[in-house]
A and B are shown apart, each in its own frame.
Chain A
């Protein structure tokens, strides 16, 4: 935006293998959100390259970017970002709608994923009738509905109390156990410790990239 460019990320070289659960940590201004936006194809990189599942991601027009996002990525946001006039099932089915999946199949899949996050009986409820933790679980179901290559979570527990946070982390860990690749941006060390690898960003560079012993969230639930 604007004519002044500000280099937020200054030479980052890192790769994530399939099945990893990576926490990206850093204080505000460290560039962690920018990194996530680039990974999420919400922002474009000016230098360097980004390859996702063998596909080079560059010079995408809006339509192409939308298709790639739909196919490759699932987003989980701090503020859930559910559409408030759609039921839980309809929210989960939305990415499938953009894949032009038929209405019936969409609904079946949505129910399946809601069941995975333990909210099957809430499928016809509106987001306003759900608690924060439930909303985030619906959002996770939505992110998974399109069966993406990577789940990107931006402070997924930022708006939740610690008990609910652990419940959500427990869910994320289970999804990861099933073989899904997940990247989590967080500034909470306890959340980061529940991942398998922690990448520390500071002023746009990686200062630390370590594999950690995963703390299971199950024990706090």
Chain B
């Protein structure tokens, strides 16, 4: 392979056909260029999606309720399903293995007031573990704890935007804010990676709000995370079990889609994965098709090269060149041209990604890049492609009869 004579011949042959080699080499380089850019774009989209979803713990499940749509178990349709506090305990007892964190949610709207500033906000009355499920980052103070729940404290963790609206630059921690006339002490301020809207809300202890609003044990919905070691299939199996259990518990028809709704993050995640997977396949397919055009081009120039060198190959055979050696010569030349032009395409794609990549910041697109395995695969493809491109011309060359090639007249 590292035979100086062979390389001398390859370089001679390329030198003699500079334009032709360039034009066909260009098509291979272009094919690889597009292939890499396509894959990088798909990768960028994937990164963008994951970034969007990263807001919440990726192993979370939300159990919501609604009105039934089917009559079942002696109940008429259109019955409102209302979850209660003991549903939380029930899940904890039923799935000790699967469960990681759990919290009930209770929603309320409030007009909040501090001194002369007022604003209307959503309050989510939750339990302490909700911080982990929602990945809430407390920048100052603390989150709701068990004590707050037990003593039904009137405390609140407010979003960064709420703090700005009501307190401006003043210190908020320890101050009292009025929610619908009732004073709540601010114990923490949080930020959210997701969006600004999330920072316009307020967290308060679940028990406190249940007490204020009619001393009920109603909850609006349940958020939980499952064992983070679970695979997608295991996670989906778990959420199915949850759904079945809740439907039985509330006597909802198994076919009813609206009475009990269990939403699993993993499911959405798997949808995105399969979506980007399909895009990936499309990217590879389109790239390869373009590449094939280039490879055919290489095959084409090799046929010409062989034809032009028929006589020379005949001389070589008369001097004792074996067919295998002729095949090697032609294929090596083809692989050399293919690989070289492919690497140039790869290089340009890489340069463009390096320049453009970091400057793209759109919600659905982030950090487009190709990893080493793509580069490696592309290299293998190029070499294999080069062999295939050279194969037919090489066979042709090997079959040249010296007697025909040497016919002078």
Contacts and interface: CB of A to CB of B under 8 A. Distances in A.
B102 interface: no
Given A42-B401, A42-B403, A98-B325, A78 B320 contact: no
A142 B402 CA distance: 17
A81 B4 contact: no
Nearest to A34: B403
Contacts of B401: 42
A79 B409 CA distance: 9
Interface string B306-323: 000001100111111111
B234 to A, nearest CB: 60
B320 A66 contact: yes
Given A42-B406, A62-B323, A63-B323, A94 B316 contact: yes
A176 interface: no
Contact of A67 (B5, B315, B316, B322): B322
Interface string A44-71: 0000000000000000001100110111
**Chain A interface extent, by class:** 20 to 34
B12 interface: yes
A215 B126 CA distance: 119
A77 B4 contact: no
Nearest to B13: A85
A42 B320 contact: no
Interface in B358-409: 398, 401-403, 406, 408
Contacts of A43: 403
A75 B318 contact: yes
Contacts of A79: 408
Contact of A142 (B4, B317, B319): B319
Interface string B66-85: 00000000000000000000
Contacts of B322: 62-63, 66-67, 98
B324 interface: yes
B319 A78 contact: no
A37 interface: yes
A96 to B, nearest CB: 9
B403 to A, nearest CB: 4
Contacts of A66: 317, 320-323
A133 interface: no
B5 A69 contact: no
B319 A77 contact: no
A204 interface: no
Contacts of B12: 85
19 contacts: A40-B318, A42-B318, A42-B403, A63-B323, A66-B317, A67-B322, A69-B318, A69-B319, A70-B320, A75-B318, A77-B406, A77-B408, A78-B408, A81-B315, A95-B320, A98-B319, A98-B320, A142-B319, A146-B320
Interface of A: 37, 40, 42-43, 62-63, 66-67, 69-71, 75, 77-79, 81, 83, 85, 94-95, 97-99, 103, 142, 146
Given A66-B321, A77-B406, 18 more contacts: A37-B403, A62-B322, A62-B398, A63-B324, A66-B322, A69-B319, A70-B319, A70-B320, A78-B408, A79-B408, A81-B315, A81-B318, A81-B406, A85-B12, A95-B319, A98-B319, A103-B4, A146-B319
